[in-house]
């Protein structure tokens, strides 16, 4: 059955501009784009469109999320704050999260797109869905923007699904950074299984250690698998096999979301991991099979981070390949290089030890 897809050029109105670093003598180094550049999303949209994989997709138009929908997680004060800052010409939600006047429309459309894609899957118009959203959401907390994120798209969509009668929801977050906002939203809620694969001790500080398992009454429904820098396709596959898939089978979600950040790639400037196109394709394939096995295929994949202008489009294409079971014929731009070969072989004892540590910590709550 069909894939639902959503992308809208209005997402690009969230223009994060240039980073200009002032030098001690008062001069400014030639500016570069903010890491979360809109060009990454635009290039990804171009590549996905050229791949042929969307030719028979159900194209879903976004609509703005309502204030009540945003308030399924965010405080009314925070929503008003974002509206005010953007309408007054823009500014910063935190030291890393710039917003401009167009950011409001982009952010409410991204959250609304997540809801519309979820509806397409729940209505049976599509079996699975992919949203090329901007701005991303998983760092956004109840009452503040953080880490390039404005509204927490996946939390808003998951709560929408639950209002429509879905009981148990799983959110798998493979962004290289910890999905702190999503963890916070579901911390004391045993109806949502939140699973994060991320680089250990990275961003944000203090989040994502294995002992963060959820509040009393919801222990074990927060699953953190921090991985050492340098983890590649084999480590991610092993983490899925030993920890994520067995827990998912015991939890039995009725709907699966993926917070898909492609910043664990071998080329990302903000992560230190070695995942390649093949690794992302394999993870998406695993999750597609999991959804087929557990919940009639119901799967909604939403874009989070990913900062390699060159490689994010390809890794995202690989995710669509894994989700659809089809191959586009567009190869890895690193094909034939020794770096790609090494990244795909990469697997060290400390990576397996980290996965084992997570498995042992979670064995208190699940059969692992
Ligand atoms: Zn990230």
Q: Answer yes or no: is 367 within a domain.
A: no
Q: Answer yes or no: is 271 within a domain.
A: yes
Domain count, the chain: 1
Angle between helices 312-324 and 38-51 (to 10 degrees): 40
Ligand 1 centre to CA of 241 (Å) is 23
Q: Are 182 and 170 in contact (CB under 8 A)?
A: no
Other CB atoms within 10 A of residue 205 CB: 9
Ligand 1 centre to CA of 304 (Å) is 7
Ligand 1 centre to CA of 27 (Å) is 31
Ligand 1 centre to CA of 26 (Å) is 32
Confidence of residue 4 (pLDDT cuts 50, 70, 90): very high
> What pLDDT shows up at residue 202?
98
Ligand 1 centre to CA of 165 (Å) is 30
Q: Answer yes or no: is 15 within a domain.
A: no
Ligand 1 centre to CA of 184 (Å) is 16
Nearest Cα to 305, choosing from 263, 334, 266? 263
Q: Are 63 and 112 in contact (CB under 8 A)?
A: yes
Q: Answer yes or no: is 368 within a domain.
A: no
Q: How far apart are CA 134 and CA 106, in angstroms?
A: 7
Q: What percent of the chain has pLDDT over 70?
A: 100
Q: How far apart are CA 97 and CA 91, in angstroms?
A: 8
Q: Answer yes or no: is 274 within a domain.
A: yes
Confidence of residue 201 (pLDDT cuts 50, 70, 90): very high
Other CB atoms within 10 A of residue 55 CB: 7
Supply 254's token pair: 């009725």
Query: Which tens digit of pLDDT belongs to each residue from 285-313?
Result: 999 999 999 999 999 999 999 999 999 99
Boundaries of domain holding 59: 3-9+33-362
Mean pLDDT of the residues in the chain: 97
SS (H, E, C) the chain: CCEEEECCHHHHHCCCCEECCECCCCCECCCEECCCCHHHHHHHHHHHHHHCCCCCCEECCCCCCCHHHHCCCCCHHHHHHHHHHHHCCCEEEECCEEECCCHHHHHHHHHHHHHHHHHHHHCCCCCEEEECCCCCCCCCECCECECCECCCHHHHHHHHHHHCCCCCEEEEECCCCCCHHHHHHHCCCCCEEEEEEEECCCCCCCCCCCCCCCCCCCCCCEEEEEECCCCEHHHHHHHHHHHHHHHHHHHCCCEEEEEECCCCECCCCCCCCEECHHHHHHHHHHHHHHHHHHCCCCEEEEECCCCCCCCHHHHHHHHHHHHHCCCCCCCCCCCCCHHHHHHHHCCCHHHHHHHHHHHHHHCCCCCC
Specify which residues 128 forms β-bridges with. Answer: 3, 299
Q: How far is CA 33 from the centre of its chain?
A: 21
Q: Could you tell me the pTM of the whole model?
A: 0.98
> What pLDDT shows up at residue 19?
86
Q: Answer yes or no: is 124 within a domain.
A: yes
pLDDT of residue 1 exceeding 70, the answer is no
pLDDT of residue 323 exceeding 70, the answer is yes
Ligand 1 centre to CA of 307 (Å) is 8
Query: Which tens digit of pLDDT belongs to each residue from 30-78?
Result: 999 999 999 999 999 999 999 999 999 999 999 999 999 999 999 999 9
pLDDT of residue 104 exceeding 90, the answer is yes
Ion ligand 1 residue ranges (Cβ < 5 Å)? 175, 177, 261, 263, 305
Confidence of residue 20 (pLDDT cuts 50, 70, 90): confident
Confidence of residue 237 (pLDDT cuts 50, 70, 90): very high
> What pLDDT shows up at residue 359?
98
Q: Are 126 and 120 in contact (CB under 8 A)?
A: yes
Confidence of residue 21 (pLDDT cuts 50, 70, 90): confident
| Over residues 104-124, mean pLDDT | 98
CATH number at 111 reads 3.40.800.20
Ligand 1 centre to CA of 297 (Å) is 26
Q: Answer yes or no: is 23 within a domain.
A: no
Query: Which tens digit of pLDDT belongs to each residue from 144-188?
Result: 999 999 999 999 999 999 999 999 999 999 999 999 999 999 999
> What pLDDT shows up at residue 329?
94
CA dihedral 105, 111, 116, 119 (to 10 degrees): -160
Active site residues: 139
Ligand 1 centre to CA of 331 (Å) is 24
**Please, how many CA atoms are within 13 Å of residue 316, restricted to the half-sphere of its CB?**
36
Q: Answer yes or no: is 26 within a domain.
A: no
Q: How far apart are CA 326 and CA 281, in angstroms?
A: 10
């Amino acid at each position: 059955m069909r894939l639902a897809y959503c992308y809208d050029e209005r997402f690009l109105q969230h223009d994060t501009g240039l980073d200009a670093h002032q030098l001690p003598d008062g001069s400014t180094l030639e500016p570069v784009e903010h890491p979360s550049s809109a060009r990454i999303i635009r290039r990804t949209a171009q590549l996905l469109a050229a791949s042929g994989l969307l030719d028979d997709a159900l194209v879903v138009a976004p609509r703005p999320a309502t204030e009540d929908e945003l308030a399924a997680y965010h405080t009314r004060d925070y929503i008003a704050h974002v509206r005010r800052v953007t309408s007054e010409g823009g500014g910063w939600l935190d030291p890393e999260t710039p917003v401009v006047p167009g950011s409001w429309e982009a952010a409410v459309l991204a959250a609304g797109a997540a809801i519309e894609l979820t509806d397409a899957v729940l209505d049976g118009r599509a079996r699975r869905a992919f949203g090329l959203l901007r701005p991303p959401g998983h760092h956004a907390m109840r009452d503040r923007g953080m880490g390039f994120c404005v509204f927490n798209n996946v939390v808003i969509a998951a709560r929408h699904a639950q209002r429509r009668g879905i009981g148990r929801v799983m959110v798998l977050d493979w962004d290289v950074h910890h999905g702190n906002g999503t963890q916070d939203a579901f911390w004391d809620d045993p109806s949502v299984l939140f699973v994060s694969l991320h680089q250990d001790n990275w961003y944000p500080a203090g989040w994502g250690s294995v002992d963060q398992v959820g509040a009393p009454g919801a222990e074990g429904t927060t699953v953190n698998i921090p991985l050492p820098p340098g983890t590649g396709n084999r480590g991610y596959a092993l983490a899925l096999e030993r920890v994520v898939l067995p827990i998912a089978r015991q939890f039995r979600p009725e709907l699966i979301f993926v917070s898909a950040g492609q910043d664990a790639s071998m080329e990302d400037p903000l992560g230190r991991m070695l995942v390649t196109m093949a690794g992302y394709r394999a993870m998406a394939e695993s999750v597609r099979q999991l959804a087929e096995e557990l919940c009639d295929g119901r799967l909604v994949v939403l874009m989070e981070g990913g900062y390699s202008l060159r490689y994010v489009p390809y890794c995202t294409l690989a995710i669509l390949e894994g989700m659809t079971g089809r191959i586009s014929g567009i190869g890895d731009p690193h094909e034939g290089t020794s770096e790609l070969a090494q990244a795909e072989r990469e697997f060290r004892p400390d990576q397996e030890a980290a996965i084992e540590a997570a498995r042992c910590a979670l064995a208190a709550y699940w059969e692992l």
